[in-house]
Amino acid sequence: MLSGNEIRRLIAAGKLVIDPFDPELVRENGVDLRIG
């Protein structure tokens, strides 16, 4: 499990890809997803 800070760090380093990525959806305990 990754924290919001870890997710941001990994995305910045290119080690994690979320496409499309919206930084506003990163929370302290994960990433919110939007469908549609």
pTM of the predicted protein model: 0.78
Cα(17)–Cα(12) distance, rounded to whole angstroms? Answer: 9
pLDDT of residue 34: 86
Which segments within 1-36 are labelled E, that is strand? 26-27, 30-31
Nearest to 7 by CA among 35, 29, 34: 29
pLDDT of residue 32: 93
For 1-36, write each residue's pLDDT tens digit. 899 999 999 999 999 999 999 999 999 999 999 887
